Amino acid sequence: MPGHQQPPQGEHPSVTLFRQYLQIRTVQPEPNYDEAVLFLEKIASDLGLECQKVEVAPGRVVTILTWQGTDPRLHSLVLNSHTDVVPVFEEHWNHDPFEAFKDTQGNIYARGAQDMKCVGIQYLEAIRRLKEEGKRLPRTIHLTFVPDEEIGGHKGMELFVKRPEFQALRAGFALDEGLASPTETFVVFYSERSPWWLRITSSGNPGHGSRFIENTAAEKLAFEKRIQGWCQEAGEGVTYQFQQKWTEPRITATDDSNPWWAEFSRVCKEMNLTVKPEIFPAATDSRYLRAAGVPALGFSPMNLTPVLLHDHNEFLNEAVFLRGIDIYVRLLPALASVPALPNEC
């Protein structure tokens, strides 16, 4: 376990576990994944969950914790989260970003507090509570903790969905990360933008740089032809290479034609939660899941919270964190009890 201060007397054990996870320095570009995997293995042992480790690239392990369902015919529910966090500029933080400092208002300051170590622990603590209540659910639940999401998932989920170990999960539906919401409304993401990252190399004498026109209404193929044209016009020695080029956008239906959405929205309505479907403004590992044929929703139960992912002084209030566990305690049994679908009979 990472070194950390003694939790205040009376702190909720789930909050203590969250702060311990935040103290593991899984920060890019050199994340301490080994410590994170050991941390997750211990929790799996405590909860009686099966644990599988899949090394998808050297030093890049996907950790799968499994709670077996009662009906093996049914496809599983996948709860995905990533273990890495983005870099920090400590001079702009009021507290050590890996201390998980908690102030008198219960705000927990740490890199990853919102993006997205909160969700990984909320999944686990919801399952802890359900198991303590003696619940058994029809569908198997797999929790996948993946590396390198913050740098595109190329040595994480992108490789994992092509592996036989992923196929063996028989995923029917997945939950992944969303964003905080500064209002009472919770935002649920059913698709995402298609990122195109490219590097252009121009050899020769230095000159001035040009600012590319944003790709707003132009079709992607036309945009790539424009890049090719720019490089050709610049003369010899000018090349470009895509570092990320996503061409398989997928949408998860947010109407009653999708039984997973129908159940998700029903539970939210029962809990008097206002949810707003949106397209994610950036890109997450959900895109790999959807491209693999698994419908997925991006959802982080953090409302009344400023959006601080990748920002200085990222924090999450412990009351919001604990309410998120309550929400998953209601959501997970409902999703894992969706009746057999036509492709499962």
79 phi/psi in degrees, rounded to 5: -110, 105
**Domains assigned to the chain:** 13-194+249-344 (3.40.630.10), 196-245 (no CATH)
* Contact present, 284 and 247 (Cβ < 8 Å): no
CA 343 remoteness from chain centre: 27
The pLDDT of residue 20: 98
The 10 Å Cβ neighbour count of residue 96 is 14
For all residues of the chain together, what is the average pLDDT?
90
Mean pLDDT of 148-162: 97
Non-local (6+) Cβ contacts of 323 within 8 A are 301
**Rounded distance, CA 233 to CA 227, Å?**
10
> Which sequence positions are flagged as catalytic?
84, 149
Residue 240 confidence (pLDDT): 72
Phi then psi dihedrals of residue 277, to 5 deg: -70, 135
DSSP-assigned letter for residue 30 = S
pLDDT tier for residue 140 given thresholds of 50, 70 and 90: very high
247 compared with 17, residue with greater pLDDT: 17
> What average pLDDT does this structure show over 37-55?
98
Of 127-136, 192-201, 279-288, the one with minimum mean pLDDT is 192-201
Q: Please list the helix, strand and coil fractions of the chain in percent, rounded to the nearest 5, in that order.
A: 30, 20, 45
Beta carbons of 327 and 129 less than 8 angstroms apart:
no
179-210: pLDDT as tens digits: 999 999 999 999 987 666 677 676 655 443 44
The pLDDT, as a whole number, for residue 234 is 79
Task: Render pLDDT for 307-337 as a digit per residue (tens, 0 to 9).
Answer: 999 999 999 999 999 999 999 999 999 999 9
User: Has residue 212 got a pLDDT over 50?
Assistant: no
